[in-house]
A and B are shown apart, each in its own frame.
Chain A
Amino acid sequence: MTSANARWVAPRPAAAGTTWLYSLLPLLAAIALAAALHFGLQPAIGPFRTNVLMNIGINVILAVSLNIVNGFTGQFSIGHAGFMAVGGYTAAAITYYTSFRVWGDALMHGGVLSGVPANGWLTAGDALFVGSCLAGGLLAAVAGYLVGLPSLRLRGDYLAIVTLGFGEIVRVLLQQSDSDIPYLAADVQRMSVWQMARHLGGALGFSGVPFYTTPFWVWLFAAVTLLVAFRVKRSSYGRAFLSIREDETAAEAMGVALTRFKVRAFVLAAFFAGIAGGLFAHEIGTALNPRELGFMKSFDIVIMVVLGGMGSISGAALAAAILTILPEVLRSPPHVWPLGLVAIVFVLMVRRKAGRRAALTLAAVTVALEAVRAAALWQGVNLADYRMVLYALSLVVMMIVRPKGLFGVREIWDYRPLGRRRAATVAVG
């Protein structure tokens, strides 16, 4: 009896000697998976879909990291793109200017460029790129610390305004940077570090950043982000974050240091957002300019978190994937009934009788969407022109049908088919 209950508080399986190996395994699996995506999937799907694949990964990093602040801790940040911008510009500047200093130009120095035959694997250029992404993450984390500080005293809407203000300050500062980016080695050699930090392209954006971002690096960082988020959620740290979200006063009375944990949430989230910015900056087909990283981007990330379910990591990741693909898919809308059927079967399996109403709603939505598609085809209307309307409409429907998001605070595997729902995965240990 005693041991059965004690296990609930301290599940410590592995023997002490093997623990480090045990904790390394998921990381190795992540590297293997990222490599498989890179070498296996990339050649098969072509450059366009590879780009979508990378965008999904970057958005997964952004949504999952924002989820630490908005989902776990219950704070409301709408300035996540600000951290992304700090990280992105830092990484871009480091890669660009260091390339000139070391190699005399900013072109690719090795690395595997997406869709281009390999010209090396894990080269010096890759090392510079990864290092600059990490540096961008660290600087973003510092910014997260500074933004986190006022959150000691502010809650809800007030904090949201502070984060919004932060995002705008970053955007305007970048816009005011010098638009003259040197493209001659001799010019760069003459610049001081301070001057480099001021020549970031202004409103036109930072052009000429080499394209080091590949599915491998994106998905490796995405996997690490997911791993850290899960580890945090299942640790005593995560319990502290979630208790703040549940009831700040009670959490404080239980001995959770409110201020410390709120700031930690911001720092952690900002670090990963900074890395996502670095990946974005070095991606082919993206423009690193202040407009792209304004509050619209912040809202996109918030929508992913809300849609996935505040506090649900798998929800945030899935929502990030769906919302990245959706605008692309809507360019030429396919049939939706197979997807609707899968969703209905899923709901019925998980909720059984209780899921009947949800299943009916899903069926109605599916039929309605098919009707719209058929009508458009019949009338010769190009739905792609209205894709952002459809995108917005699907968000509205989603929020009406399921206001707590896809999974609420739970994870996808907490919904077991044909069984009782488990409570949220907040481990005890």
Chain B
Amino acid sequence: MALLEIRDLHVHYGAIHALQGIDLIIEAGQIVTLIGANGAGKSTTLRTISGLLRPSAGTLAYDGQSLIGQPPHEIVRRGVAHAPEGRGIFANFTVAENLAIGAYARRDKGGIARDLEWALTLFPRLRERLTQSAATLSGGEQQMLAIGRALLARPRLLLLDEPSLGLAPQVVQTIFQIIRAINAAGTTILLVEQNAHMALQTAHYGYVLEVGRIALHATAAELAASDRVRRAYLGVA
């Protein structure tokens, strides 16, 4: 059974029809990427899954249960964590406090300590900066913190919104390696990216979103090979 199954999902911002009936299936254990241009509705899709937005129509089933109408904190509790676009770091908190907020919905202290250790193993830079104010982190470190914080919710499904945004190529490489490692440890990932090249290299399966509709979907390898994707998103003539 698919971990997440979206059918005919519509989202409106007032009069703007942002998502016009998308279907999307995420199999457990995979990295699925959602690529597309600015304004295609990628972030909207993530925000709808995590309950920050309410769809106007359609179904959204996670682990066989509908998420529609559930408040965000309930969705986090069920195992969907969202590292939002622009990172959403709490600048006045220390790194440790930011990580602790990630585990907010949990009560199992032993599990939290284990997941913290895991996140700090994945991101050794954060370990060095635990007591430092998050505002003093570099862009790459802030992105690491955003992902690490989401991991502390112990998600079964991790939603990553533009993790490469504004980062140096080398840092992007590091982040994507870690994304693979997180997935290898058993977390299913929905990755939204503008950097289609990196995304398709990393993911198992991909969806191409164009102005609120799914234009294409196939395995990542097939997408990377398709002429349409190569022309539009990979910059290959």
**Which residues of chain B from 120 to 168 have a CB within 8 Å of any chain A CB?**
120, 127, 130-133, 149-150, 153
Identify which of B76, B101, B120 gathers the most chain A CB atoms within 10 Å of its CB.
B101
CA gap between A128 and B5 in the complex, in Å: 62
Chain A CB within 8 A of B96 CB: yes
Q: A249-B84, A249-B88 are in contact. Are A243 and B50 (CB under 8 A)?
A: no
CA gap between A253 and B53 in the complex, in Å: 11
CB distance from B131 to the nearest CB of A (A): 7
Q: Which of B7-15, B109-117, B214-222 contacts A (4 or more CB under 8 A)?
A: B109-117
Chain A CB within 8 A of B71 CB: yes
Identify which of A236, A247, A409, A428 gathers the most chain B CB atoms within 10 Å of its CB.
A428
Q: A426-B93, A428-B96 are in contact. Are A252 and B52 (CB under 8 A)?
A: yes
CB distance from B98 to the nearest CB of A (A): 9
Chain A CB within 8 A of B21 CB: no
**Which residues of chain A from 1 to 30 have a CB within 8 Å of any chain B CB?**
2, 5-6, 8-10
State which of B93, B99, B101, B117 has its C-beta within 8 Å of the C-beta of A2: B117
Q: A257-B71, A423-B133 are in contact. Are A249 and B104 (CB under 8 A)?
A: no
Chain A CB within 8 A of B91 CB: yes
CA gap between A252 and B112 in the complex, in Å: 19
Chain B CB within 8 A of A303 CB: no
- Contact (Cβ within 8 A) B93 A9: no
CA gap between A253 and B75 in the complex, in Å: 9
Chain A CB within 8 A of B102 CB: yes
**Which residues of chain A from 255 to 304 have a CB within 8 Å of any chain B CB?**
255-258
Q: A10-B109, A253-B72 are in contact. Are A236 and B94 (CB under 8 A)?
A: no
State which of B50, B52, B104, B109 has its C-beta within 8 Å of the C-beta of A239: B104
CA gap between A86 and B199 in the complex, in Å: 58
- Contact (Cβ within 8 A) B90 A250: yes
CB distance from B128 to the nearest CB of A (A): 11
Chain B CB within 8 A of A246 CB: yes
- Contact (Cβ within 8 A) B72 A252: yes
- Contact (Cβ within 8 A) A428 B90: no
- Contact (Cβ within 8 A) A423 B117: no
Chain B CB within 8 A of A240 CB: yes
Contacts of B131 in A (CB 8 A): 8, 423
Chain A CB within 8 A of B211 CB: no
CB distance from A44 to the nearest CB of B (A): 42
Contacts of B180 in A (CB 8 A): none
CA gap between A109 and B148 in the complex, in Å: 62
CB distance from B154 to the nearest CB of A (A): 11
- Contact (Cβ within 8 A) B92 A246: yes
State which of A242, A253, A423, A429 has its C-beta within 8 Å of the C-beta of B52: A253
Chain A CB within 8 A of B17 CB: no
Chain A CB within 8 A of B100 CB: yes
**Which residues of chain A from 134 to 165 have a CB within 8 Å of any chain B CB?**
none
- Contact (Cβ within 8 A) B72 A255: yes
- Contact (Cβ within 8 A) B117 A6: yes
Chain B CB within 8 A of A251 CB: yes
- Contact (Cβ within 8 A) A253 B84: yes
CB distance from A88 to the nearest CB of B (A): 35
Chain B CB within 8 A of A424 CB: yes
For A239, the closest partner residue in chain B by CB is B101
CB distance from A71 to the nearest CB of B (A): 12
Identify which of A6, A242, A255, A423 gathers the most chain B CB atoms within 10 Å of its CB.
A255
Chain B CB within 8 A of A116 CB: no
Chain B CB within 8 A of A193 CB: no
Chain A CB within 8 A of B3 CB: no
- Contact (Cβ within 8 A) B71 A423: no
- Contact (Cβ within 8 A) A236 B104: yes
Chain B CB within 8 A of A254 CB: yes
CB distance from B34 to the nearest CB of A (A): 17
- Contact (Cβ within 8 A) A254 B93: no
1/0 contact trace for B67-98 toward A, CB 8 Å? 00001110011000110100011111110110
Q: A5-B127, A9-B113, A239-B97 are in contact. Are A246 and B72 (CB under 8 A)?
A: no
User: Can you list 14 contacts pairing A with B, beta carbon distance less than 8 Å?
Assistant: A5-B127, A6-B113, A6-B116, A10-B112, A10-B113, A239-B93, A239-B101, A249-B84, A250-B89, A252-B73, A253-B72, A423-B94, A424-B92, A426-B94
Binding site for A on B (CB under 8 A): 50, 52, 71-73, 76-77, 81-82, 84, 88-94, 96-97, 99-105, 109, 112-113, 116-117, 120, 127, 130-133, 149-150, 153
